Amino acid sequence: MIAYGQQGPGVRRQFDAKAQAKSTSDAMKELLKLICNQMKQVEAIIPEAFERIAKVFESAAGDRQAMRLKIAPINEARDNKLKEILTADHWREYEKMKKEQCDRMRQLRAN
């Protein structure tokens, strides 16, 4: 679900907040089978969180530890908002989706 824009061989990839928000929202819609009202709320929450994360990426100058520390509360706030609108079953599936994403990112970093 992480979307990056590639600028050429050997060039650092940039975080694409709009693509990430769309990818995440689309995945949630498909995997969780959200109803229209829930989807509207998700589509309001997700882009705002990724815009804030993009600002962290821009200001962190490659300091991964600083990014993690600043992104964690953004993710926590996003998840708290989502938990209010998702059913218990949706929430379990969302948590599973997040874990799978983390696993994929770890594999990418290992390669």
Residue type, 36: C
Specify the 3-state DSSP secondary structure of 62.
Answer: coil
Do 17 and 54 contact (CB within 8 A), yes or no? yes
pLDDT at 70: 94
pTM: 0.78
Residue ranges per structural domain of the chain: 4-110
Q: What is the mean pLDDT of each run of 10 residues along the chain (111 residues)?
A: 45 74 91 91 95 90 87 96 95 94 85 77
Longest dimension (CA), the chain: 44
pLDDT at 13: 58
Task: Single out the residue of 108, 87, 12, 25 nearest to residue 57, CA to CA.
Answer: 12
